Amino acid sequence: MFFKKSIMAGTGLFLSIFLIVHLSANCLLLLPESMARELYNAYSTILRESIVITIVAYLLYLSIILHVVYAAIVTYKNYKASPDRYMMNHTNETSSWSSQNMGLLGVFILLFIVIHMANFWARIKLGLGDGVGFDAAGNLDVYEVTYSLFQNIYFVVFYSIMMIPLGLHLNHALKSAFKTLGFYHKKGLRVLAKISLVYAVVIAVGFGIIPLIVYLK
């Protein structure tokens, strides 16, 4: 139980750090178009060609898989631990909805990741679907992939709305991961709760608002 939970906490924290890096890169999309295209494409080329980043990328895939697999196992075991449900249950009064529904939120996030990877990863890395051109500097024009996707209002809405479950998941996840790994300083936990909230809001709003801005550009 401790092992599984620690794996989930560890992979979760790793993914949380990745999100910060990912979001800061996305901020490049907010620059004026020519500058954005150049920097964004250059950045993504560096990432693709770096051995270190390649290793990190495989660690990311592994983390996602482990996080999901162990979540499934823990959820199943927890279900077995309380198979009979209460006829009347008001435990929502005692803890937040998101903390009680991390699994459900996780399913939404997983769904999002699949679509997100189909949109980008599959096209850029696997070369599936429409081909990707090059920009003036000779870098693969990843910016164009992004830009064209967010001209479609359905994708914009989908990307923005899916950041809500992500934010809820992260808010509970970040502070809980630390507790699972044994951080128990009482004052520290109160500070941590605030940091989690700020982190979750920044990530969710940040990721959620960029497609809208790109759409309106």
- Are 73 and 65 in contact, with CB atoms under 8 Å apart? no
Residue of 52, 131, 182, 216 that binds other proteins (CB under 8 A)? 182
Count CB-CB contacts under 10 A for residue 32: 8
Residue 78 interacting with other proteins (CB under 8 A):
yes
DSSP 129: S
Cα distance between residue 101 and residue 118, in whole Å: 26
Residue 17 interacting with other proteins (CB under 8 A):
no
What separation in angstroms does the CA of 69 have from each of 56, 115, 137? 20, 19, 42
Residue 103: both structure tokens together: 């699994």
Residue 169 interacting with other proteins (CB under 8 A):
no
Nearer to other proteins, 29 or 105 (CB): 105
Cα distance between residue 44 and residue 53, in whole Å: 11
Residue 90 interacting with other proteins (CB under 8 A):
yes
Residue 95 interacting with other proteins (CB under 8 A):
yes
> Which residue from 174, 81, 159, 151 is spatially nearest to 117, judged by alpha carbons?
159
Residue tagged 């004026």 (tokens): 32
Residue of 7, 28, 64, 102 that binds other proteins (CB under 8 A)? 102
Residue 133 interacting with other proteins (CB under 8 A):
no
DSSP helix/strand/coil, 127: coil
Residue 72 interacting with other proteins (CB under 8 A):
no
Residue 178 interacting with other proteins (CB under 8 A):
yes
Nearer to other proteins, 49 or 89 (CB): 89
* Number of amino acids touching other proteins (CB under 8 A): 40
Residue 4 interacting with other proteins (CB under 8 A):
yes
Amino acid at 18: F
DSSP helix/strand/coil, 26: helix
Report the nearest approach of other proteins to the CB of residue 7 (Å). 12
Residue of 17, 51, 52, 87 that binds other proteins (CB under 8 A)? 87
* Binding positions for other proteins, rule: CB under 8 A: 1-2, 4-6, 74, 77-78, 80-91, 93-96, 99-100, 102, 172, 175-176, 178-186, 189
